[in-house]
Amino acid sequence: MRISVIGCGYLGAVHAACMAKLGHEVVGIDVDEQKIKELSAARAPFFEPGLEELLGEVQDTGRLSFTSDMAAARGSAVHFICVGTPQKKGENGADLTYVDGALNALVPHLSDGDVVVGKSTVPVGTAARLAGIVEQSEPGAHLLWNPEFLREGHAVSDTLHPDRLVYGVIGGSEDHKAVQVLDEVYTVALKADTPRLVTDLATAELVKTAANSFLATKISFINAMAELCEAAGADVTMLADAIGLDDRIGRKFLNAGIGFGGGCLPKDIRAFMARAGELGADQALTFLREVDAINMRRRTRVVELTRELCGGSLMGQRVTVLGAAFKPESDDVRDSPALSIAAQLQLQGAVVTVTDPEALKNAARRFPELQYEESTDAAMQRADALLLLTEWREYRDLDPYETASLVTTARILDGRNVLDASKWRAAGWIYRGLGRP
Ligand code: NAD
């Protein structure tokens, strides 16, 4: 099929490459000329494992191209909308400027039978409004909402092998014409028995925000337990192991630490609360305010713990932050807890050096006032305290004895509870985890 993918960021670039891999003829469209230039040269404009190899592989087939010209969407049977929906400045709600801009630019190029597929995460009610715009400009075209569940760091395999497909259509019927068209796009996944749910537009939009809210709640739940464990002298990692063995609860997403961040969870739960308020259902989501507050409290707690670790004052203390990305295997620093903690420490007088295998360029753009060092060893040299804030494998695998020979004082705060505390203590380190004695 001929497919256009509008918006080639973390979601869209991967989606475009994967659709081409599945055999479709794909054009990726973005307003960012630099991104288009890089993607056209088969270079990934951001770090995502496997993406660059995939871009090279599919571009060699001639099935994938990129452009900034929206007219290139003309002739595609399916148009995926993958543009950003960030948090509005100074408000909790989602900024829909990019979604509206993309759709308005696309509609003059639609033809009879085309299907516009929304993948961006939007407040419930947006799809119905956009469906009206599509229908008005091209009555023979349809709009379908197909929320995306990929995880950065696993985006390629998540897109090629999704755990479920959700299609939202007007009326929520299997018989909707657009359903058959999208089934054709996802033939490979459907043949592999991927569950597919057809819903109305509002339910499909809500599935995405509900899923993210659940995940955020699970993380904040265990972080609240970490606060309690700290107060009671208990160990949250053992607690998580024990409750996680109950398969009604499950162990995944029960890792206490510095909390969640990134370009999705924080802004999605806030936009969800804002939208609930508009719908007169704000009470239903007031718990998310607490989820958000617990999450943000983790960052302050890490600053406090670092001060304790440094003997009561941060003034002039050389603190090395291991990790800048919001999670490992990504260079995404949007709302990264690691960087937010690094910036707070610096404001409070610490001399902070940040290192990360992939995210330093993005980090420096967002926090130019921080000092960055590419080499992990150089970053740790003469440190008074190390903070492991993004659990990249190379930090998890650090040898406590070798590391001790680099730093001035052997103190470490394990913000992700991923190190073997007894091993580090045995090597002479003062070790602090979160929610652990
Ligand atoms: P992003 O900021 O990385 O990418 C958005 C892209 O859209 C940018 O390249 C931007 O230049 C482009 N764009 C903006 N306006 C445009 C226009 N009018 N025409 C063409 N391109 C335009 O954002 P992202 O992380 O890829 O997220 C996109 C959407 O997908 C968001 O709604 C997000 O919540 C959702 N989502 C993201 C992920 C993820 O892991 N990143 C997962 C699931 C859902």
What's the CATH number where 28 sits?
3.40.50.720
290-291-293-294 Cα dihedral, nearest 10 degrees: 110
How many other CB atoms are found less than 10 A from the CB of residue 160?
19
* Distance between first and last Cα of the chain: 57
356 lines ligand 1 (CB under 6 A): no
Residue 405 sits in the same domain as residue 264:
yes
Structure confidence at residue 334 as a pLDDT band (50, 70, 90): very high
Radius of gyration of the chain measured on its C-alpha atoms: 23
Task: Please give the Cα distance from 70 to 72 (Å, whole number).
Answer: 5
At 46, is the pLDDT very low, low, confident or very high (cuts 50, 70, 90)? very high
Give percent of the chain above pLDDT 70. Answer: 100
Average pLDDT on 236-259 reads 98
227/338 same-domain check: yes
For residue 155, the SS3 value is: helix
**DSSP strand E in 84-146: where?**
115-118, 142-145
Question: Which amino acid makes up residue 69?
Answer: D
For residue 404 the two structure tokens come to 């001790």
Q: Are residues 434 and 296 in the same domain?
A: yes
Let me know whether 107 and 207 are in one domain.
no
- Please identify, among 151, 169, 199, the residue that sits at the C-terminal boundary of a domain: 199
Q: How many domains does the chain have?
A: 2
**In angstroms, what is the span from residue 103 Cα to ligand 1's centroid?**
13
Q: Could you identify the atom of ligand 1 that is nearest to the CA of residue 83?
A: 7
- Separation CA 355–CA 353 (nearest Å): 7
Most informative mutation of 47, 83, 145 for ligand 1 (most atoms within 8 A of CB): 83
Structure tokens at 173: 């019927």
From the CA of 8, give the closest atom in ligand 1: 9
- 245 and 188, same structural domain? no
> What pLDDT band is residue 23 in, cutting at 50, 70 and 90?
very high
| Mutation to probe ligand 1, out of 29, 30, 117 (largest number of atoms < 8 A from CB) | 30
Whether residues 135 and 265 share a domain: the answer is no
pLDDT of residue 160: 98
Question: What is the pLDDT at residue 103?
Answer: 98
In the reported structure, the alpha carbon of residue 6 is separated from the centroid of ligand 1 by a whole-number distance in angstroms of 9
Domain limits at 187?
2-199
Same domain, 209 and 129: no
pLDDT per position as a tens digit, 276-325 = 999 999 999 999 999 999 999 999 999 999 999 999 999 999 999 999 99
**Three-class SS of residue 13?**
helix
pLDDT band at 372 (very low <50, low <70, confident <90, very high): very high
Active site residue 310: no
- Contact yes or no for 122/93 (Cβ under 8 A): no
Which of 4, 6, 8, 11 is the pocket-test mutation for ligand 1 (most atoms within 8 Å of CB)? 11
Residue 387 zone, left/alpha/beta (φ > 0; ψ -120 to 50; rest): beta
Q: What are the tokens at 221?
A: 């739940």
pLDDT digits (tens, 9 = 90+) for 193-238: 999 999 999 999 999 999 999 999 999 999 999 999 999 999 999 9
Domain boundary among 171, 199, 227: 199
Q: What are phi and psi of 272, to 5 degrees?
A: -65, -45
Is the C-beta atom of 262 inside 6 A of ligand 1? no
With a 6 Å cutoff on the Cβ, whether 211 touches ligand 1 is no
Q: Report phi then psi at 381, rounded to 5.
A: -60, 130
Q: Check whether residue 193 and residue 210 sit in a common domain.
A: no
Q: Which of 199, 226, 244 is the last residue of a domain?
A: 199
Q: 0.95 cut: is pTM over it? A: yes
Residue located nearest, by CA, to atom 15 of ligand 1? 98
- Let me know whether 215 and 102 are in one domain: no
- Same domain for 231 and 313, yes or no, is yes
Q: Whose CA is nearest to atom 18 of ligand 1?
A: 102
Q: What pLDDT is recorded for position 138?
A: 97
- Tell me the mean pLDDT in the region 53-68: 96
Question: What token pair was written down for 78?
Answer: 């399916």
Residue owning the nearest CA to atom 11 of ligand 1: 32
pLDDT digits (tens, 9 = 90+) for 133-175: 999 999 999 999 999 999 999 999 999 999 999 999 999 999 9
Whether residue 185 sits in one domain with residue 159: yes
- In 3D space, the residue among 152, 130, 126 whose CA is nearest the CA of residue 142 turns out to be 130
Q: Are residues 240 and 379 in the same domain?
A: yes
10 lines ligand 1 (CB under 6 A): yes
Is 126 strand, coil or helix?
helix
The model's confidence at residue 362, banded by pLDDT at 50, 70 and 90, is very high
